[in-house]
Amino acid sequence: MNGGRTRVAVVGAGIGGLTLGIALQRAGVTVDLYERADELREVGAAVALSANGTRELYRLGVGEALDAVSTQPTELIYRDGRTAERIAAHTGGADYRARFGAPYWGIHRVDLQQTLAAAADPAHLHLGRVVTAVSDQGDGATITFHDGSTVTADVVVGADGVHSVVRDAVCGPGNGPVYSGSSAFRGLVKRSDLPSLPDPLAIQFWAGPHAHLLHYPMGGEARGDDTVNFFAVLCGPERWSGGNVEVPDGELLAGFEGWHPAVREMLAAVPQSPRWPLLSQPPLSRWTRGRVVLIGDACHAMLPHHGQGANQSIEDAVVLADLLAATDPDTALATYPRGRRARTRAVARSAWDTGTLLHLPDDDVAGLAERDARFKSYLDANAWVHEYAAATTAEDVA
Ligand SMILES: Cc1cc2nc3c(=O)[nH]c(=O)nc-3n(C[C@H](O)[C@H](O)[C@H](O)COP(=O)(O)OP(=O)(O)OC[C@H]3O[C@@H](n4cnc5c(N)ncnc54)[C@H](O)[C@@H]3O)c2cc1C
């Protein structure tokens, strides 16, 4: 074991950064996390975590605490967005857990982030630290902060998300994600405000021409949380520059004209959110430069239609942590992308394909038949996503 000899600095204390921090601390590696936010409070948004992610959170000892604030969807259901016909259904809950060895959770992001932060050593979590640049020094790397101060470590990890500053240091500027041609609205609704919704405890995709709705229960039934998170995707507009925008009231509902009443009821149950551009990272030619390395959205931001971005960040984090704990930094950084590139690229491609299937027009009769068949075989065909064990990957590539 390389143990405590390597000093690691992580830029970003999001899902990937915090998981990496905990994993390195558990392995006895010195690690400091630098987060630009003054407080960890991503209120209002949710995330779904599948067995490939939750298995690792159990391995790190935070599984029970997270389970207590999560809801396990009873089923995964695909429906026609206009008629509500069940196209396909797969059992969730205990069956899913038994099959894949770990649960599927719907959880508030703030609960996830705060539980992870509580498990990390607070003395090494530095909030309010905005990183402006990172440079490789050959036998280490230096972080520069907005106030001009610097920190040097043996390894610097960019876990700073989709608009990563560290990615610029690794790949050069202009290599970030691109707009996918689709955009989204999201909201949190009480189940009691959704009287028309069939199967409210399931995770459900409602598919239709040029749009889809995804929703799942979250927040931990045991503590009386009956929140449903929804994510409504519209194809278009054709071009987008910048981030989220406020759009005129009614734009979301207009995109779901003629859809089933349960869909429209959900969308109308809360004030319309800003409209989000959905971004996707073209494959990067490199994930490391000297002693600087990327994980998570910083190197492979993907469409959310597979619910895998956060799970892939968790997988990256534990594979990199296992390698840094087991070997010297140069070997670890040379080995890490070999274990992760093909996997994350396959998941990102699959998320893109899922979006295409969810948005097929009515006149694509052959396409719709194929869509229905793929939804019916979804869990078997995608078992490779859910059964993955990151610990084995680190051993295989080391
Ligand atoms: C609408 C939506 C729904 C999604 N749903 C799911 C889902 O259900 N399941 C799933 O697995 N994934 C989902 N994802 C994807 C998931 O949110 C991301 O893939 C995941 O958060 C990436 O984790 P990360 O740690 O790489 O980055 P992040 O979680 O984005 O964390 C990056 C951190 O870096 C910090 N930071 C950024 N820049 C700097 C800087 N210069 N200096 C210091 N700190 C900095 C940020 O403040 C942040 O805390 C969804 C994404 C979207 C947009």
- Indicate the domain borders of the chain: 3-70+105-176+281-352+388-397
Distance in angstroms (rounded) separating the CA atoms of residues 316 and 129: 23
CA of 216 to the centre of ligand 1 (A): 19
Which residues in the chain come in under a pLDDT of 50?
none
CA of 142 to the centre of ligand 1 (A): 23
Of all protein residues, the one whose alpha carbon is nearest to atom 51 of ligand 1 is 304
The answer to whether the Cα torsion of 29, 117, 98, 229 is positive or negative is: negative
Of all protein residues, the one whose alpha carbon is nearest to atom 29 of ligand 1 is 14
Domain boundaries 3-70+105-176+281-352+388-397, corresponding CATH code: 3.50.50.60
Query: Which of 297, 340, 350, when mutated, tests ligand 1's pocket best, judged by the most ligand atoms within 8 Å of its CB?
Result: 297
Q: Is 7 exposed, middle or buried (0-12, 13-18, 19+ CB in 10 A)?
A: middle
CA of 226 to the centre of ligand 1 (A): 24
pLDDT at 281: 98
- Token pair for 280: 């996707």
* 129 CA closest ligand 1 atom index: 43
Distance in angstroms (rounded) separating the CA atoms of residues 46 and 36: 21
CA of 212 to the centre of ligand 1 (A): 22
How many angstroms separate the Cα of 163 from the Cα of each of 60, 127, 279?
27, 18, 10
pLDDT at 223: 82
Q: Which candidate in 216, 336, 378, 388 is catalytic?
A: 216
Contacts of 146 (CB under 8 A, 6+ apart): 130, 131, 132
Which residues line ligand 1 at a C-beta cut-off of 6 Å? 11-17, 34-37, 47-48, 130-131, 159-161, 165, 184, 186, 231, 296-298, 304, 307-311, 313
Residue with tokens 């993907």: 302
Cα 370 to the chain's mean position, in Å?
27
Of all protein residues, the one whose alpha carbon is nearest to atom 30 of ligand 1 is 161
pTM of model > 0.95: yes
CA of 244 to the centre of ligand 1 (A): 15
pLDDT at 44: 58
* 131 CA closest ligand 1 atom index: 42
216 is catalytic: yes
Of all protein residues, the one whose alpha carbon is nearest to atom 21 of ligand 1 is 310
Of all protein residues, the one whose alpha carbon is nearest to atom 27 of ligand 1 is 161
Q: Are 293 and 157 in contact (CB under 8 A)?
A: yes
Of all protein residues, the one whose alpha carbon is nearest to atom 39 of ligand 1 is 160
pLDDT at 41: 74
Closest CA to 277 of 238, 250, 226: 238
* 309 CA closest ligand 1 atom index: 19
pLDDT at 131: 98
pLDDT at 283: 96
